[in-house]
């Protein structure tokens, strides 16, 4: 199964004391594959920069992009 993580869910899972931290840890531990596109990465970065910092947002998105469990997708519209 390939999942797409909502930007609000990703944001809520980053804090070390967050009750949703399991999501970020599972993501980093490559427990599942996740789909990303350039649009999704841009949304993640924008959203994370709003709640945290631009530096953290860039580090997270770069880490996601370079992750071996990332599935890069190119959306097509009919």
The pair of three-digit structure tokens given for residue 41, joined into one six-digit string: 């990465």
Does the global pTM surpass 0.85?
yes
Tens-digit pLDDT string for the chain (78 aa): 889 999 999 999 999 999 999 999 999 999 999 999 999 999 999 999 999 999 999 999 999 999 999 999 987 776
pLDDT of residue 76: 76
pLDDT of residue 4: 94
Q: How far is it between the farthest Cα atoms of the chain?
A: 42
pLDDT of residue 75: 79
pLDDT of residue 1: 81
């Amino acid at each position: 199964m390939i999942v797409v993580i909502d930007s609000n869910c990703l944001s809520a899972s980053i804090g070390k004391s967050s009750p949703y931290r399991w999501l970020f840890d599972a993501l980093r531990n490559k427990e599942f594959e996740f789909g990303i596109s350039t649009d999704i990465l841009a949304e993640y970065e924008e959203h994370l920069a709003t709640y945290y910092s631009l530096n953290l947002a860039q580090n997270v998105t770069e880490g996601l992009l370079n992750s071996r469990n990332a599935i890069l997708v190119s959306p097509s519209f009919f």
